[in-house]
Amino acid sequence: MDKYRIKPGKKLDLSKWDPNDKSIFPMGKKVGKDHLKQLNNELETLQELLYAEGKHKVLIVLQAMDTGGKDGTIRHVFEGVNPQGVKVSSFKAPTREELAHDYLWRVHKHTPGKGEIVIFNRSHYEDVLVVRVHDLVPKEVWSKRYEHIAAFEKTLADEGTTILKFYLHINRDEQKERLQARLDKPEKIWKFSLGDLEERKLWDQYIAAFEDALGKTSTEASPWYVIPANRKWYRNLVISSIIIDKLKSLNMSYPEAEDDLSGVVIE
């Protein structure tokens, strides 16, 4: 899975990353979907252990272009996990109160506590993505944020948070198909907004903003992964596998009972 990790200190060129890649799971969609069920079970067990042990905090950040698959990833990768102990925080356009504070204010309070997994559906990265592309603040302001973000995440990591960040990499043609599908299907049309078409025109500016954001903030303790995401089943397998590998590396164990239970008989 390391092939999808952005190595620290390297400039990122997303045109070199294939959104159709399926080299790690070449099995195809049908077998791939079956395999995900096994991974779902494994993740469920690990999450249970994380919750019981109550020691580690896990933060998962999802970012993507519109239609990139953030919602679908949450639905499929976390299928079956116990909702107690897993939270999703979705970041929309900031409220007036949020705008009156620094951009990390609304984010910090949603970070995970001990035993928790928190999934960020969008995140503080919007403050160097949409904010940059639309000039919502001047360049002198947003250009300093990469350093703040790196420092913020270092603080979380130093204080015991395990961080994984996933960029769901689709191409422009795939976005066109997915937008069309939203338009065509009654059960998807609620997700379509005319604004998405305006954002689509800014594709290249978004790619440039993503390249800077991901390239400047991928560290050993807080890595970014570029996930090939044109194929949803493949995207799910890769993300699930990376999370499982990470959780296994924490060497967790179930805690002992607090009381001395030797000789206990239940009447």
Q: Which residues of this chain interact with ligand AMP, rule CB under 6 A?
A: 91-94, 122, 126-127, 130-131
- Say if CB 229 and CB 69 are below 8 A apart: yes
CB of 106 to ligand AMP, least distance (A): 8
User: What's the rounded Cα separation, in Å, for the pair 244 and 44?
Assistant: 10
Length of the chain (residues) = 267
Residue 7 vs 75, nearer CB to ligand AMP: 75
Closest Cα to residue 110, out of 97, 100, 102, 119?
A: 119
- Say if CB 53 and CB 46 are below 8 A apart: no
CB of 187 to ligand AMP, least distance (A): 16
CB of 94 to ligand AMP, least distance (A): 5
CB of 223 to ligand AMP, least distance (A): 22
CB of 121 to ligand AMP, least distance (A): 7
Residue 122 vs 231, nearer CB to ligand AMP: 122
- Say if CB 164 and CB 243 are below 8 A apart: yes
Residue 51 vs 78, nearer CB to ligand AMP: 78
User: What's the rounded Cα separation, in Å, for the pair 130 and 114?
Assistant: 31
Unique residue bearing structure tokens 């890769």:
238
Residue 24 vs 104, nearer CB to ligand AMP: 104
Residue 33 vs 200, nearer CB to ligand AMP: 200
User: What's the rounded Cα separation, in Å, for the pair 9 and 146?
Assistant: 13
User: What's the rounded Cα separation, in Å, for the pair 229 and 159?
Assistant: 32
